[in-house]
Amino acid sequence: MFPVMASTAENTVVRDVRLWTAPDHTRLVFDLTNTMNYKLFRLHNPERIVIDMDKVTLKSDLKKLPLPDPVIKEIRHGTSASKVMRLVIDVKEKVQPRSFLLKPMKGKPHRLVVDLMRPDKVKPNVKSSQPRNSKQDLIIAVDAGHGGEDPGASGPHNVREKNITLAVAKKLAKKINAYPGLKAVLIRKGDYFVSLKNRVLAARKMRADLMISIHADAIDVRSVKGASVYTLSERGATPDRAAKALAEKENASDEVGGVVSGQISDPLVNLILGDMLRRASLNSSQLMAEEVLNRLKNVGPIKYDQPKHARFYVLKAMEIPSVLVELDFISNPQREKKLTNSRHQQRLATALFDASVVFFRKMGRLKQAKSEYAQPPYRPMVSTINPTSSPNS
């Protein structure tokens, strides 16, 4: 049985319930009018998860939840004479429940988060610790920013950053996987939350040779537009206030999406790497960032014509060249509309793909395919890899 949480004298109302399905767990999020007491425990034969909520009233329709999902069969509820609402979650397999309360922040109310972890889906991959074969494909970790309970930025017409980043990430992965010698791995494959720590760990586990984190920017001034590319700054403070503010906003994703206190710590991130390794990684990331910018200029407006540097948590796998790309300003109505256009998303994905290919070639890690022929610098494959793509639109 899990501990009772902090008490409250007044009744609490569950205003909304949401469900997110990830490969290794299902997450339930309850929007509350106040904090509350609750107990969570398991029952067996059949497998159930039970949540008792003291002095709580449910005013959300559980029938709207997309059930059944890979973990949950159905959810039932009832209220006792002592005003304890019992929620019974019928599950398809043995799961490890994890729950915590979140305080209001960034427009979100009090929330109860319940994660139903699937142990069989999170077993460590023994092969990941083995040396890579030099003949294996180069692996690109494609990280679609935000997801699930963390929508990211929203545009004037309520277009959400998490949907744009996933659409472009999937298009990028498809292009990468069609190219000999390259393999893409999507860190987030659907609309679910992945903590910043787990994004970094996923890139490390897959022994990625490059990481591209995809985002869309937002600001109060709707006329601002343009793409920008970031790499990790060194140990010192970030001199650019705008870059620092953006990093703080992106690093707050865990607070919005819901992370257990202390979960973000990562011993590998805190490891003091040798100066040679650190410098080589930062230099490689800078090279990749420059390649990305040179190609994004052919797709749409650019906010900064040089890569910026900031303390982004998601870029802290120092042994992996990593860049964070802000595709455009979703807060600009015209650019918001553009970001939802499938053809424009394809051009953005092509720009990131072309930059990746040239980056690996310049690093001496990828040979030119026989079907390609030499092109001028910074315009390497426009007519060969994607002959149907066009310039700005």
pLDDT at 271 exceeding the cut of 50: no
Looking at per-residue pLDDT, the higher value among 96 and 282 belongs to 96
For residue 16, how far is the Cα from the chain centroid? 23
Give me the mean pLDDT over the 76-101 stretch. Answer: 93
pLDDT confidence bin for 239, thresholds 50/70/90: low
Least confident of 6-20, 241-255, 306-320, 374-388: 374-388
pLDDT(5) > 70: no
CATH code of the domain made up of 132-362: 3.40.630.40
Tally of CA atoms within 13 A in the half-sphere of 192 that contains its CB: 19
In contact, 168 and 122? CB cutoff 8 Å: no
Q: What is the 3-state secondary structure (H, E, C) of the chain?
A: CCCCCCCCCCCEEEEEEEEEECCCEEEEEEEECCCCCEEEEEECCCCEEEEEEECEEECCCHHHCCCCCCCEEEEEEEECCCCEEEEEEEECCCCEEEEEEECCECCECEEEEEEEECHHHCCCCHHHHCCCCCCCCEEEEEEECCECCECCCECCCCCEHHHHHHHHHHHHHHHHHCCCCEEEEECCCCCCCCCHHHHHHHHHHCCCCEEEEEEEECCCCCCCCCEEEEEECCCCCCCCHHHHHHHHHHHCHHHHHCCCCCCCCCHHHHCCCCHHHHHHHHHHHHHHHHHHHHHHCCCCCECCCCCEEECCHHHCCCCCCEEEEEEEECCCHHHHHHHCCHHHHHHHHHHHHHHHHHHHHHCCCCCCCCCCCCCCCCCCCCCCCCCCCCCCC
Structure tokens at 131: 């040396």
Domain range summary for the chain, segments of one domain joined by +: 15-118, 132-362
Q: Evaluate if residue 49 carries a pLDDT over 60.
A: yes
Task: Tell the residue number behind the tokens 């970030």, with chain if given.
Answer: 238
Reported as a pLDDT band with limits 50, 70 and 90, residue 113 is very high
**The whole model's pTM is what?**
0.79
Q: How confident is the model at residue 252 (pLDDT cuts 50, 70, 90)?
A: low
What pLDDT does 135 receive?
Answer: 60
* 161-177 vs 342-362: helix crossing angle, rounded to 10: 50
Between 234 and 98, whose confidence is greater? 98
Encode burial over 95-110: b for 16+ CB neighbours within 10 A, e otherwise. bebbbbbbeeeeebeb
Q: Can 15-118 and 132-362 be said to share one CATH topology?
A: no
pLDDT at 1 over 70: no
Is residue 185 within 8 A of residue 254, CB to CB? The reply is no
- 258 pLDDT exceeds 90? no
Q: pLDDT tens digits for 124-174?
A: 443 443 444 446 899 999 999 999 999 999 999 999 999 999 999 999 999
* Segment 66-88, tens digit of pLDDT: 999 999 999 999 998 888 999 99
Q: What is the second-level CATH architecture of the domain 15-118?
A: Sandwich (2.60)
The pLDDT value given to residue 270: 43
